[in-house]
Amino acid sequence: MTRHRQTIAVLALLGWFVALYLWLHALGVGGELKCGTGGCDTVQTSRWAEFLGVPVAFYGVVGYAAILAVALMGLQPAWLERRGPTVLLAALATGGVLFSGWLTYLEVFIIQAICRWCVTSAAIMTVLWGVAVHEWAVGRTHPRPTA
């Protein structure tokens, strides 16, 4: 349980910085994205770069921050043996991986340009989801007190 949540916290921190970089770029801070190709700018300037009027990266900043907060809370002695953080982490990660999957689909099939930072974020979220689901599955076979 501890190892899972520690891993999730590290991945969420990494993902948060990636999303923060993309969000700051969307706000016009720092200029050109370090991408290696122009794919990042193509994606960032496409009509899909915003969702409900907000830069897509902002949802990443909020999502990763929420996951990090829950993982750190779940590492506190009072929550360590409880199942609440496990379920919440699995739910947040599932939402994150679905959102990332949709964005990756848009990049590959609609925008037809690859943003390496977006792919990095999607990969982080996928690994994070795997760890979160594994923790949840282990918890089901070895039940612990509920929150």
Partner 1 sequence: MNRFYVMLGTLAVAFCGLLIYLLKTNPAAPRAATEAPVAVLDDGFRGDTLGSNAAPVEIAEYSDFECPYCANFATIQMPTIKDQLIATGKVRWRYRDFPLPGHKYSRYAAHAAQCAGEQGKFWEMHDQLFYHHSWAQTGRNPTSMFRDFARAAGLDLARYDACMESGRFASRIEVSRREGEQRLVDGTPTFFVNGVKFTGPRPTSDAFKAIVDSLTARRK
Site string for partner 1, 22-41 (x = CB under 8 A): --x---xxxxxxxx-xxxxx
Cβ–Cβ under 8 Å, residues 110 and 11: no
* Contacts of range 136-139, beta carbons closer than 8 Å, 24 or more positions apart: 136/86, 136/87, 136/89, 136/90, 138/1, 138/4, 139/1, 139/83, 139/86
Residue located via tokens 């520690």: 6
Q: Applying CB under 8 A, which of residues 1, 9, 104, 105 lies at the interface with partner 1? A: 9
Nearer to partner 1, 46 or 94 (CB): 46
Sign for the pseudo-dihedral over CA of 49, 17, 139, 88: negative
- Direct distance between the N- and C-terminal alpha carbons of the chain, in angstroms, rounded to an integer: 14
Site for partner 1 in 107-146 (CB under 8 A): 113
Site string for partner 1, 64-93 (x = CB under 8 A): -----------x------------------
| Region of 4-12, 86-94, 102-110, 119-127 interacting with partner 1 (CB under 8 A) | 4-12
Nearer to partner 1, 7 or 104 (CB): 7
Nearer to partner 1, 77 or 143 (CB): 77
Nearer to partner 1, 73 or 94 (CB): 73
* Cβ atoms within 10 Å of 146's Cβ, excluding its own: 10
Closest approach of Cβ 30 to partner 1, in Å?
3
CA angle 50/94/138 to nearest 5° reads: 160
Residues binding partner 1 (CB under 8 A): 2, 6, 9-10, 13-14, 17, 20-21, 24, 28-35, 37-42, 45-46, 75, 113
